[in-house]
Amino acid sequence: MRLIENLKKKKFILLNIFLSLYIGINLIGGERGLISYFDKKKLFEELDNKDKMLTNKLEKLKHKISLVKNNDLDYLDMLYREKFRYGTKDEIIIRLK
């Protein structure tokens, strides 16, 4: 009986304790919490790096396409020799990679 009376008197304090615990737990581990923030930040950085890499790759491909469209003879000769492994009898072909 005394326990119930004490709880009735201290219900404001208990409410504050539970509310503080709820806010603290969600601040750290909730869907919009601190841990989720760092996970999303890491994912953003990975995707940003991937975007930069793909953009760079796309620019290189656009450059190669423009060389083929403009009939750049040096590039076409290099491409022809690389793809078909073509060379004359007196040439020595060294492939560097």
Average the pLDDT over 90-97 and give the result: 75
One-letter amino acid at 78 equals M
* Whole-angstrom distance, CA of residue 58 vs CA of residue 81: 24
Average the pLDDT over 20-30 and give the result: 86
Q: How confident is the model at residue 57 (pLDDT cuts 50, 70, 90)?
A: very high
Distance of CA 88 to the CA centre of its chain: 47
pTM comes to: 0.58
Average the pLDDT over 90-96 and give the result: 75
Distance of CA 41 to the CA centre of its chain: 9
Q: Which residue has the higher pLDDT, 94 or 28?
A: 28
> 26 near 33, Cβ under 8 Å?
yes
* Whole-angstrom distance, CA of residue 78 vs CA of residue 94: 13
Check residue 48 and give its pLDDT.
98
